[in-house]
């Protein structure tokens, strides 16, 4: 077990990396940048290696710094687990769990399920971060990442929580005014509501002749939030491509119509990304099981305008 001073150094360094810059870390701790810089220099002198390259905009870790950060996170988690386990009943889970999720799914479903989970396991502290960034760009240290769609290569384990794909939808009013496209090529003649998550052209993905193909779309309304974009669609502003988990209740009620239902789209499953292995805390495993069991039930029973379970 590391000494108390070593634990302090680990906590300092992992928090500094999570902050991203010494300026942001100093602002968070309420100290000057020179104090943070001096503490980092002292740590590097104790270890005899350089941990990070200082920059005006970002702190870049050296290979030694990355190894110290990764090992530090593991050791600090063990310390927290040990502290939390003292006084707990046998088999009772406890301690913190940090979840990162896409904004729309996180707001509508993951947040309520975390509240439900915490009510069942009172000693667990649940933290939820909603982000439009890819998981690869999120600050490290989260226990579970919720992602929709294909994942880039990752060393972390993946568990499927919900089968899903994205479909084109529109309100009956919009289709009555502008007609129903019968082919993906006709999308260019329609107002397409564009979810702008990054710069560049926007394409909707379809399976054409068995091959995944991007079809460029354009529109006069763009947004980086799927919930706001769906509101536009319900209001008759245009076509939208949204996940089935989001639009299925509206399709059942007739508020939206599935456009191009004969053209298949790729799978875009909802998955959980996490570190697997014997060292995974029990609370993370139990939460993964809870999300896997309850997310399909919640989405299947959830209807627009009702609070849901």
| pLDDT-derived band at 139, boundaries 50, 70, 90 | low
Other beta carbons less than 10 A from residue 201's beta carbon: 9
- Residues 163-184: b if buried by 16+ CB within 10 A, e if exposed: ebbbbbbbbeebbeeeeebeeb
Give Cβ neighbours of residue 252 (< 8 Å, ≥ 6 apart): 303
Can you say whether the dihedral through the CA atoms of 231, 234, 237, 241 is positive or negative? positive
Give the residue carrying structure tokens 């050296």.
Answer: 62
pLDDT digits (tens, 9 = 90+) for 244-262: 999 999 999 999 999 999 9
Contact call for residues 206 and 263 (beta carbons, < 8 A): yes
pLDDT digits (tens, 9 = 90+) for 72-99: 877 876 776 666 555 445 457 889 999 9
**pLDDT of res. 1:** 45
Average of per-residue pLDDT across 217-223: 91
pLDDT digits (tens, 9 = 90+) for 161-213: 999 999 999 999 999 999 999 999 999 999 999 987 654 458 999 999 989 99
Contact call for residues 148 and 282 (beta carbons, < 8 A): no
Between the alpha carbon of residue 56 and those of residues 39, 42, 70, 272, the distances in Å are 18, 20, 24, 34
Q: Which of 171, 154, 187, 161 is nearest to 263 (CA)?
A: 187
β-pairing, 95-102 vs 124-131, is parallel
At residue 108, the 3 state secondary structure works out as helix
Can you say whether the dihedral through the CA atoms of 301, 128, 271, 288 is positive or negative? negative
pTM: 0.67
CA separation for the pair 146, 110 (Å, rounded): 9
Mean pLDDT lowest among 16-20, 95-99, 140-144, 265-269: 16-20
| pLDDT-derived band at 54, boundaries 50, 70, 90 | confident
| pLDDT-derived band at 305, boundaries 50, 70, 90 | very low
Give the helix/strand (H/E) hosting 81.
helix 63-85
Q: Which two tokens stand for residue 159?
A: 């568990």
At residue 107, the 3 state secondary structure works out as helix
**Beta-strand (E) ranges in 143-183?**
144-148, 157-162, 166-170
Q: Which two tokens stand for residue 236?
A: 């008759």
- Residue 49's Cβ-count burial label (10 Å; 0-12, 13-18, 19+) is middle
pLDDT greater at residue 10 or residue 269: 269
| pLDDT-derived band at 153, boundaries 50, 70, 90 | low
């Amino acid at each position: 077990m590391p000494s108390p001073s070593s634990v302090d150094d680990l906590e300092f360094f992992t928090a500094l990396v999570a902050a991203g810059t010494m300026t942001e870390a100093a602002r968070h701790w309420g100290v000057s940048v020179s104090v943070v810089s001096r503490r980092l220099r002292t740590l590097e002198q104790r270890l005899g290696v350089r941990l990070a390259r200082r920059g005006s905009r970002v702190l870049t870790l050296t290979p030694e710094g990355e190894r110290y950060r990764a090992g530090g996170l593991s050791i600090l988690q063990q310390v927290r687990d040990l502290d939390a386990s003292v006084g707990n009943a046998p088999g009772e889970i406890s301690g913190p769990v940090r979840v990162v999720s896409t904004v729309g799914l996180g707001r509508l479903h993951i947040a309520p399920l975390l509240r439900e989970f915490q009510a069942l396991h009172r000693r667990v502290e649940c933290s939820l971060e909603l982000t439009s960034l890819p998981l690869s760009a999120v600050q490290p240290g989260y226990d579970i990442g919720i992602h929709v769609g294909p994942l880039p290569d990752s060393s972390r384990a993946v568990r499927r929580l919900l089968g899903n794909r994205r479909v084109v939808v529109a309100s009956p009013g919009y289709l009555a005014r502008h007609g129903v496209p019968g082919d993906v090529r006709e999308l260019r003649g329609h107002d397409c509501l564009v979810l702008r998550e990054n710069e560049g052209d926007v394409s909707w993905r379809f399976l054409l002749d068995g091959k995944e193909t991007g079809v460029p779309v354009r529109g006069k309304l763009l947004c980086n939030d799927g919930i706001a974009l769906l509101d536009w669609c319900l209001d008759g502003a245009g076509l939208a491509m949204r996940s089935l988990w989001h639009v299925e209740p509206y399709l059942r009620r007739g508020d939206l119509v599935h456009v191009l239902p004969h053209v298949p789209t790729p799978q875009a499953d909802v998955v959980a990304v996490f570190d697997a292995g014997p060292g995974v805390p029990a609370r993370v495993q139990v939460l993964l099981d809870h999300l896997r069991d309850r997310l399909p039930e919640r989405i299947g029973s959830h209807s627009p305008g009702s609070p849901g379970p």
